[in-house]
Amino acid sequence: MTETALRHLETTEELRACLPLMRQLRPHLDQEDDFLERIARMRHERYRLLAAMHGDEAVALAGYRYQENLIYGRFIYVDDLVVADGRRGERWGAKLLEYLDGAAHAAGCKRLVLDTGLSNALAQRFYFRFGLLTSAIRFCKAPGDIQA
C-alpha cells in the first residue's frame, strides 16, 4: 500500500506530474512549457511547491514563498493551495497549512498570508476554521487601464 507523504517538488518531472492538479486551481495554465518557465522564474523569488504525493500522483499542493514588506515584516505568502477533487475531506489542505504555519514560525515570520476570491465561500470557511482572518481587500488591474 502506497502512503501519501508531504514533500517539496524539485525536478522538472515532479513539476510536470503536478500540473493536472495545479490546473484545477489555475485552469489558465494550459501550456506545460509556460508552467515550467514560470516556476523557474518564481524560484528566484524563493517560491517552493509542497505536495502531498501518493506514489507519483500529487493529491494536494501548496505553492509558497518567504517575503518581507513594511506591512507584515517577514511572512510566508501562500500563492497556491489546492486539493484534488476526489481527495477533499482527507485533511490534506489542513496538513499543508499546518506545515506552512510551522515553517513560518521556525523562520521567525510574523504572518502566514494568502488571498482567495471573494466568491470562494468554501475556501473562506476552511481558512476561517484554520484561524486565518480577513484583514484587507486587494485591488488590482491590468497595466495601462488607469482611468481618472
Note the pLDDT tens digit of each residue in 2-50.
Answer: 677 899 999 999 999 999 999 999 999 999 999 999 999 999 999 999 9
Q: At what angle do helices 32-43 and 12-25 cross, to 10 degrees?
A: 110
As a whole number of angstroms, the distance between CA 27 and CA 9 comes to 20
Domain segments of the chain as ranges: 4-130
- CATH fit for domain 4-130, picks 2.30.300.10, 3.40.630.30, 3.30.70.940, 3.40.50.12370: 3.40.630.30
% of the chain beyond a pLDDT of 90: 74
